[in-house]
Amino acid sequence: MHARLALVFLLFVALAAAQPLPAPAPADVGCNGVFLTYAPEAHQRIRPFVDPAAAAAGRQPYSFRASATVLNNGVRTLPSWALLVAFAHGEILVSLDGAVLTFGDDLPYNTTAAGGGATSLSGNPQTDLLTPIATAGDLTRIQATVKLVGTLFAGPEPVVTLPSAISLADPAYSCLPVATAPSVLSACCVLIAPDQPSAVPPAAGNTYLPRVTGDLVITYDVLQAHETTYLALVTLENNAAMGRLDGWELSWEWRRGEFVNSMRGAYPREVDTRGCLYGPQGQYYKDLDFSKVLNCERRPVVHDLPPSRRDDKSLGQIEHCCRNGTILPKTMDEAQSRSAFQMEVYKMPPDLNRTARPHAPANFRISGASPLNQAYACGQPALVSPTEFPDPSGLVSTTLAVSTWQAVCNMTVDDSKPSKPPQCCVSFSAFYNESVIPCSTCACGCPASTPAAPTTTCSTTAPALLLPPHALLMPFEWRAKETLKWYHDEELGAPPNPTPCGDSCGVSVNWHVATDAAGGWSARVTLFNWEEGADMRDWFATVVMDDKVYGGFEQAYSFNATAVGDGAIFMRGREGFELLLRESNVSGVDYPVPGKQQSVLSFTKKNGPGDVDVVGGDGFPTKVFFNGEECAMPQMIPSQGVGIRASRGVLVLLLFLLFF
Ligand SMILES: *[C@@H]1O[C@H](CO)[C@@H](O)[C@H](O)[C@H]1NC(C)=O
Ligand SMILES: *[C@@H]1O[C@H](CO)[C@@H](O)[C@H](O)[C@H]1NC(C)=O
Ligand SMILES: *[C@@H]1O[C@H](CO)[C@@H](O)[C@H](O)[C@H]1NC(C)=O
Ligand SMILES: *[C@@H]1O[C@H](CO)[C@@H](O)[C@H](O)[C@H]1NC(C)=O
Ligand SMILES: *[C@@H]1O[C@H](CO)[C@@H](O)[C@H](O)[C@H]1NC(C)=O
Ligand SMILES: *[C@@H]1O[C@H](CO)[C@@H](O)[C@H](O)[C@H]1NC(C)=O
Ligand SMILES: *[C@@H]1O[C@H](CO)[C@@H](O)[C@H](O)[C@H]1NC(C)=O
């Protein structure tokens, strides 16, 4: 038994010690820049075998192996290199060695799903390529090799599995294909402006990328490094004026067999160490008590701690931690715009060397628990200049992090990825028109249709109907009857049958043009929360107005509102009114009522009454955002009929708001 274990261990050590041999240098083609190659190595027809017609149409799957190299032959270090490969055969990448997908997607990865653009591969673990001059031409430090395995679709043999182009994802370089061996794709990338100084200052022995900005920046600071472990501080910082996360969830991928021994300021979703116990980690760290290890997943998922753990001696006591995962924009509260946690990480061979820099994990992913939170896509972490921490004892000195990486996560707006439907909707009304114009049918999704309850009761395609104002306070199911009655009473014509479905939005915003006089005008904004689940703390909303009226914005009466430029008015609850309550049952009303908040906004007509045509449309916002999420807008604005009648319906809405 012992002998067998020892053998396994020896085998393991032998495997771990076997460093990958550097690929031989490709044939010299006279490239004095960054030389790229892509060489297919093998391919094989795999099942299912398709019929000849489908094969002729290029639908026969083949497995393939290929290797790509990035060789820095230039005079500048290439930090955080990324290779763009324009795959041309519907390739599905199944495994990657020496690189990760730049935007952290999972494998297997469909290279055509991302909208037909080139696939970006980032170096990992070799993220930076030094210059031949700085390394005496040491190939292990100037060249990176990526091994690709995947599936592609092609016709019958002979099959050519080359991509259509390769290039470098660095805007400082321009790449041109060069002819090398017949079945190899090569390109030479040269600096576009070699005379301009590099954006990357060559620090002593190190090259750092400039610190980055983006909607949300993840900073990975190694605070202490030891032979087998290191201590990392992970900081999430929100830079977006309208970004918000509630109950954030962060995950990443360990690429070097690491595992988390302990954590402060956050906790993993799963405490499961079986992966280590029976894996190479358990073999290597024989004396470690794995029952005390926190998490051994290759892709850990962590959450912020609740505020009650802030001062917990073993779990808390990390600055910016323990706020239940709420991250607000800096305009709301600078102190709540970041979250942080610390963790102790165990490394695995061959990285057990204090002089060797630890490797940051790859493929960060961040998301919020609320449907109102934006979706983010994160780039790969890049080495940046080390963070300076003030001396804890109060001396006027700073301590540098051992190493610092930053990954940028940007909100994904109408990206190639399918965007999720809006979560909030805007309705328009005005003092000169009795009806409310709701946002479109199914603006935030259609009611779920199940075999048990098919959606035959409403139409998912009919345009939205005008509403009586009091119907704004009712759940969708209750509106149909009121709407039919309204169409009858107001002689608005025959509504379609079945009537259109509701908007299914969790939050709605009513914009009501309340007054229009020679010197100024006003609008009343009402927020409705239809979510049953939770009250919304620290809500914020932004309305974007036309330039003509924006300059005349005076003030909001019950909201804390500021004009923040570009036509945007940022609004939040005043102190004591930060809470937008959930939908609830109220005695005396036979349907659940939404949580509400309301304020009047006043505007002057600076350049004379003729300049602003409130009724003609200037009085309505062009865009509305709630908690950073863009809301669906109505398809039209209220029009002024012949002869203005006093708006009875709007009075009803006011009364409702007063009473409930
Ligand atoms: C890959 O994505 C494309 C485009 O979305 C799709 O047409 C194709 O079926 C996908 N391939 C596989 C194998 O899923
Ligand atoms: C923290 O979040 C949980 C789940 O979302 C919620 O139940 C709890 O009330 C929140 N606590 C605070 C203090 O906000
Ligand atoms: C640690 O790294 C140094 C320099 O890279 C190397 O000389 C040494 O052999 C390494 N030690 C181990 C145990 O791998
Ligand atoms: C994120 O957005 C910033 C500008 O807002 C841009 O400079 C950066 O390249 C973007 N990063 C990614 C990973 O998309
Ligand atoms: C209004 O918001 C600003 C910051 O956005 C804050 O400093 C101020 O205290 C708020 N005022 C009230 C009355 O809530
Ligand atoms: C409101 O009342 C209905 C039925 O009377 C019940 O099904 C529902 O759960 C209640 N909702 C809340 C939020 O209390
Ligand atoms: C109110 O506005 C809507 C949309 O512009 C219009 O269809 C309707 O006729 C207007 N009602 C009156 C009474 O003017």
Residue 652: enclosing H or E segment and its boundaries?
helix 648-659
Which carries the bigger pLDDT value, residue 611 or residue 559? 559
Average pLDDT of the residues in 47-65: 95
> Of 157-171, 261-275, 632-646, where does mean pLDDT reach its minimum?
632-646
User: Around 611, how many Cα atoms within 13 Å sit in the side-chain half-sphere?
Assistant: 16
- Using the predicted structure, report yes or no on whether residue 27 has a pLDDT greater than 70: no
Q: Measure the CA–CA gap between 317 and 393, rounded to whole angstroms.
A: 16
- Using the predicted structure, report yes or no on whether residue 25 has a pLDDT greater than 80: no
Q: Which residue among 478, 585, 593 is best mutated to probe the pocket of ligand 6, counting the most ligand atoms within 8 A of its Cβ? A: 585
Residue ranges of the domains in the chain? 29-191, 216-391+398-411, 424-447+456-659
Three-state DSSP class for 525? strand
C-alpha radius of gyration, the chain, whole number: 30
User: Around 651, how many Cα atoms within 13 Å sit in the side-chain half-sphere?
Assistant: 4
Q: Are 211 and 310 in contact (CB under 8 A)?
A: no
355 lines ligand 3 (CB under 6 A): yes
Nearest CA to ligand 3 atom 4: 355
Structure confidence at residue 90 as a pLDDT band (50, 70, 90)? very high
pLDDT in tens, 415-428: 444 456 788 999 99
pLDDT in tens, 170-212: 888 999 999 877 889 999 999 998 877 765 554 434 556 677 7
Nearest CA to ligand 4 atom 5: 214
Please give the pLDDT value at position 609.
66
Taking residue 204's Cβ as centre, other Cβ atoms within 10 Å add up to: 4
Strands (E) across 517-558 are located at 520-529, 540-544, 553-556
Distances from the Cα of 186 to the Cα of 116, 118, 159, angstroms: 21, 16, 19
Question: Which ligand is located closest to the Cα atom of residue 645?
Answer: 7
Q: What are phi and psi of 124, to 5 degrees?
A: -165, 120
pLDDT in tens, 549-585: 898 999 999 899 999 888 899 999 988 888 888 888 8
Nearest CA to ligand 4 atom 4: 214
Do 216-391+398-411 and 29-191 have the same topology in CATH? Answer: yes
**206 Cβ neighbours under 8 A, 6+ residues apart:** 383
Average pLDDT of the residues in 144-150: 97
Nearest CA to ligand 4 atom 9: 214
Strands (E) across 108-170 are located at 109-110, 119-123, 143-154, 165-168
State in Å: Cα 560 to ligand 5 middle. 6
Q: Are 441 and 250 in contact (CB under 8 A)?
A: no
Which CATH number describes the domain made up of 216-391+398-411? 2.60.40.290
State in Å: Cα 355 to ligand 3 middle. 7
Structure confidence at residue 213 as a pLDDT band (50, 70, 90)? confident
State in Å: Cα 591 to ligand 6 middle. 9
What tokens appear for 429 in the block? 């009304």
Q: What class does CATH assign to 424-447+456-659?
A: mainly beta
Out of 42-51, 266-275, 478-487, give the one with best mean pLDDT.
Answer: 42-51
Give me the architecture of the 29-191 domain, per CATH: Sandwich (2.60)
**Ligand 2 pocket, residues with Cβ under 6 angstroms:** 247, 306-307, 324
**46 Cβ neighbours under 8 A, 6+ residues apart:** 61, 62, 63, 151
In ligand 1, the atom with minimum distance to the C-alpha of 151 is 13
Please give the pLDDT value at position 19.
45
195 lines ligand 5 (CB under 6 A): no
354 lines ligand 3 (CB under 6 A): no
State in Å: Cα 110 to ligand 1 middle. 6
Please give the pLDDT value at position 420.
67
Q: Give the whole-number percent of the chain exceeding pLDDT 70.
A: 87
Look over the chain and give the mean of its residue pLDDT values, rounded to a whole number. 85
Taking residue 445's Cβ as centre, other Cβ atoms within 10 Å add up to: 15
Average pLDDT of the residues in 629-638: 91
pLDDT in tens, 249-259: 999 999 888 99
Please give the pLDDT value at position 603.
93
In ligand 6, the atom with minimum distance to the C-alpha of 585 is 1
532 lines ligand 6 (CB under 6 A): yes
